[in-house]
């Protein structure tokens, strides 16, 4: 699991690659914990490099979204692979998250 954080003016982009599973939860929690402490965090999670997500990964993304909203911000997902998108659809979490096809579209919606 690889995580990279990019800050661009008012927006934070979190690139996640590899398997988003129980083994990665602590790193993901630490990353989002710092980001969601900011006032009105505006976060886009780019999942273009994610190859797999399990229930632990879904749970940590839901918690990060909750924390962002609690702070007056937003958290959206973008660039999902077919497999990751299917997991979100099967769990109906695609109704819970803001989801964009690609990073450019997500950025445009955050301006």
Partners of residue 15 on adjacent β-strands: 4, 46
Query: Between these two residues, 101 and 37, which has the higher pLDDT value?
Result: 101
Q: What is the mean pLDDT of the chain?
A: 95
The whole-number pLDDT of residue 37 equals 87
> Which whole-number Å values give the CA distances from 51 to 37, 93, 105, in the listed order?
28, 18, 21
> What CATH number has the domain bearing residue 83?
3.30.750.24
- Least-confidence region, from 17-21, 30-34, 46-50: 30-34
- Rounded Cα–Cα distance for residues 78 and 58 (Å): 14
The model's pLDDT over 58-111, given as tens digits with 9 standing for 90+, comes to 999 999 999 999 999 999 999 999 999 999 999 999 999 999 999 999 999 997
Helix 25-36 × helix 55-70 angle, to 10°: 10
- Which residue segment(s) compose the domain that 21 sits in? 2-109
28 burial level (CB within 10 Å; 0-12, 13-18, 19+):
buried
Gyration radius from the chain CA atoms: 12
Domain count, the chain: 1
The whole-number pLDDT of residue 90 equals 97
Shortest CA distance to 31 belongs to which of 49, 40, 43?
43
* pTM score: 0.95
């Amino acid at each position: 699991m690889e995580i990279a954080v990019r800050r661009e003016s008012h927006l934070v982009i979190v690139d996640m690659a590899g398997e988003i599973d129980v083994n990665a939860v602590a790193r993901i929690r630490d990353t989002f914990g710092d980001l969601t402490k900011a006032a009105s965090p505006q976060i886009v999670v780019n999942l273009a490099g994610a190859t797999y997500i399990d229930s632990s990964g879904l749970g940590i993304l839901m918690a990060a979204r909750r924390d962002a909203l609690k702070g007056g911000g937003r958290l959206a997902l973008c660039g999902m692979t077919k497999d990751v998108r299917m997991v979100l659809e099967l769990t109906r979490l695609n109704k819970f998250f803001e989801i964009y096809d690609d990073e450019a579209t997500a950025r445009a919606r955050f301006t």
